[in-house]
A and B are shown apart, each in its own frame.
Chain A
Amino acid sequence: MTKKEEKVIEMDEKGDFEPKILGFLCNWCSYAGADLAGVSRYQYPPNVQCIRVMCSSRVDPMWILKALTDGADGVLIAGCHPGDCHYVEGNYRTRRRIAALKKILENYGLSDRVFLEWVSASEGKKFAEVITKVTNAIKELGPNPYKKRWEI
């Protein structure tokens, strides 16, 4: 997508900031939770682009860094609740990795833009709430400062 197009999507008619957020959803819990939100017609902001992964621990921290350096305003990783992982302990690894990654991102002022949430397959409502919460938090923070720097 070219820069011009990106700006069109970012700003709606009122000129409000519309963030671009990347979501990684685990296949077994959070993706099913997102489906349930749809089936139940819980409305939420359209700012999160979701990618289905087999497990939240499939998300390489480098992908999160790549998303942030490529201009995503925020990244959400959603997986099964602790103890419920389809692969027994995948989400524990995710939890450790994200904690370490956030520590590193603190130095760049980006740690508030990474979210780790547990959404089970039965938590459609929670999924909608998480997306709304994350979108509002990113709107509060404003655009990713690194993206702005490159555009100049």
Chain B
Amino acid sequence: MSDEGVKVGVYVCECGINISATVDVEKVVEYVKSLPNVKIARHYKYMCSDPGQQLIKNDIKELNIDKVVVASCSPRMHENTFRNAVEEAGLNPYCFEMTNIREQCSWVHKDREKATAKAIDFVSAAVARASLLEPLEKRKINVTPTALVIGAGIAGIQAALDIADSGYKTYLVERTPSVGGRMAQLDKTFPTLDCSACILTPKMVDVARHSNIELLTYSEVTDIDGYVGNFKVKVKMKARSIDVSKCTGCAVCIENCPVTLQPQIPKKPEKAPAVRDKGYIDELIAKHSHHPAPLVQIMLDVNKKYRYLPRDVLEYLSFKLDIPFSTIYRAATFYKAFNIELRGKYHIRVCMGTGCHVRGARNIADMVRDKIAGAKEGLFSLETVNCLGTCALGPIMIVNEEVHGNMSVDKVDDILSSLGGE
């Protein structure tokens, strides 16, 4: 980029009196003439009028100016007007620079001297920029009328179908071997309890059969490059070890597959693992042995005695009752009645639901934590819960089974202190 030998024409608009009332246009023109590269500087009543535009066209032809600066209203108003005028005179329309001395100068200032100084600065800057302008060409770029949808859940399927129905080629990429996603795992849809599969499966079939959709299952997008209309996407198709075009879904290959994968199940220990209070646990097992499912009953008693379910007891029960440990653990963590960590003598539950939260439940929970830290170990324990169903009394705190409503930090202090907290 070089601005040598550039011939700039500068045109300062008076806009009737809109500009000339506050900006001394003659002074601006006088100053601009002294700037480098400026071949001609003029002012005129209305630059946007036909005679005004003709002024520019004549100068382009007669004086060979190759860059045009117009100082007038906002480019949002007349930039295109002047670009067209410049183009009609045979100059590249982008060799035109417009600067705004009306909306952003004469209309917002009253001091004539300062406004003129500001207008001079604006025009000087525009001249400097105009000298560096290069002709630009408008280009047309072809776009590929194709869409890519990533993820063939119900949303992806529907999107692909809509695009394909509009007549565009659509690629639908799905990571797993089958389309359908989460909705295929559901029985009913919320809130109308419609049959999930009845909505989904016809669409799954449509998406596979649609002539405009190319379905890429068991594939992942690894790279996206390019821009709107011309994206280049790399899709990694994972190995299926079958010929997709020949597969009829007969499943004979599954029977003949040479690879067998089986879950690794830990072996049952040969003798009973060590356990606390062995006599007591054995008694419990004997007591409930008539029960068809003794596990939960035994665990209830264990939980009552120790205030939690110690791991060694669970392992011992697993051995004695011949139930896999994972099953016992699942039951122990599923029911709210059990806890697998030691609880305090006073178990405190603080509601963190929205109703309680806005009334300061967090402060209550923080205060309880402070009290626990200062109290004897094993006296208190804290659990935050999502809703206790008593929102009108929020914030709520429950100590063992006793409900305390409208809690405040001071009340927490009083209650816990009376129970023996420091």
- Chain A residues within 8 Å of B44, by CB: none
Q: Quick check: A46 and B107 within 8 Å, CB to CB?
A: no
Does the CB pair A43–B104 fall under 8 Å?
Answer: no
| 0 or 1 for each of B118-129: is its CB under 8 Å from A? (1 = yes) | 100110110000
A66, CB-defined interface residue at 8 Å: no
Nearest CB in chain B: distance from A13 CB, A:
9
Which A residues between 23 and 41 are near B, CB-CB below 8 angstroms? 31-32, 34-35, 37-39, 41
Interface of A is mostly: mixed
Q: Does A49 contact B (CB under 8 A)?
A: yes
Instruction: Tell yes or no: B115 within 8 A of A by CB.
Output: yes
The reply to whether the CB of A9 lies closer than 8 angstroms to some CB of chain B is yes
Is residue A50 contacting chain B, with contact meaning CB distance below 8 A? yes
Enumerate chain B residues within 8 angstroms of A44, measured Cβ to Cβ.
108-109
Cα A37 to Cα B74 in complex, Å, equals: 12
Q: List A contacts of B74 (CB < 8 A).
A: 31, 35, 38
Number of residues in B with C-beta < 8 Å to the partner?
A: 21
Residues 58-90 of chain B, each 1 if its beta carbon lies under 8 Å from chain A, else 0: 000000000000000011100000000000000
Given A35-B74, A35-B104, A38-B103, residue A46 in contact with residue B122 (CB < 8 A): no
Is A87 located at the chain interface by the 8 A CB criterion?
A: no
**B102 contacts partner chain A, Cβ-Cβ < 8 Å:** yes
Answer yes or no: B21 CB below 8 A from chain A CBs.
Answer: no
Q: What residues on A are CB-neighbors of B115 within 8 Å?
A: 46
16 of the cross-chain contacts (CB-CB < 8 Å) are A31-B74, A35-B74, A35-B76, A35-B100, A35-B103, A37-B103, A37-B104, A37-B108, A38-B102, A38-B104, A38-B108, A39-B103, A46-B114, A49-B122, A50-B100, A128-B108
Give bound CA distance, A34 to B122, whole Å. 15
Q: Which residues of B contact A (CB under 8 A)?
A: 74-76, 100, 102-105, 107-111, 114-115, 117-118, 121-122, 124-125
Asked whether, in the complex, the Cβ of B104 is within 8 Å of the Cβ of A34, the reply is yes
Chain A interface residues (CB < 8 Å from chain B): 1, 9, 12, 31-32, 34-35, 37-39, 41-44, 46, 49-52, 128
Cα distance A106–B412 when bound, in Å? 46
Q: Measured between alpha carbons, how far is A49 from B105 in the docked complex, in Å?
A: 10
Q: Which of B107, B111, B118, B125 contacts A38 (CB 8 A)?
A: B107
On chain A, the residues within 8 Å of B76 by CB distance are: 31-32, 35
- Contact between chains at A49 and B125 (CB < 8 Å): yes
Q: A31-B76, A34-B104 are in contact. List 16 more A-B contacts (CB 8 A).
A: A32-B76, A34-B103, A35-B74, A38-B102, A38-B107, A41-B107, A42-B108, A43-B109, A43-B110, A46-B114, A46-B117, A46-B118, A49-B118, A49-B125, A50-B104, A128-B108
The answer to whether A46 and B75 have CB atoms under 8 Å apart is: no
Min CB distance A5 to B, Å, is 10
Leading 4 A-B pairs by shortest Cβ distance: A38-B103, A38-B107, A35-B103, A46-B118
Is the beta-carbon distance between B125 and A46 smaller than 8 angstroms?
no
User: Within the complex, what minimum Cβ distance (angstroms) separates B258 from chain A?
Assistant: 52
- Residues of chain B within 8 A (CB-CB) of A37 are 103-104, 108
The answer to whether B103 and A46 touch across the interface, beta carbons within 8 angstroms, is no
In the bound complex, how far is the Cα of B122 from the Cα of A39, in angstroms? Answer: 19
- What residue in chain B is nearest A34 (Cβ atoms)? B104
A121 → chain B closest CB, angstroms: 10
User: Which residues of the other chain, A, contact B110 by a CB distance below 8 angstroms?
Assistant: 43
Bound-state Cα–Cα, A56 to B75, Å: 18
List B contacts of A39 (CB < 8 A). 103, 107
| Nearest residue, chain A, Cβ from B107 | A38
- How far is A1 from B32 in the complex, measured between Cα atoms in Å? 12
Q: Chain B residues near A1 (CB, 8 Å)?
A: 124
In the assembled complex, how far is the CB of residue A61 from the closest CB belonging to chain B, in whole angstroms? 20
What is the CA–CA distance of A41 and B108 in the complex, to the nearest angstrom? Answer: 5
**A43 near B75: Cβ-Cβ < 8 Å:** no
Instruction: From A32, A43, A49, give the contact of B121 (CB < 8 A).
Output: A49
Within the assembled complex, what's the spacing in Å between the Cα atoms of A31 and B79?
Answer: 14
How near does chain B come to A77, taking the closest CB pair, in angstroms?
16
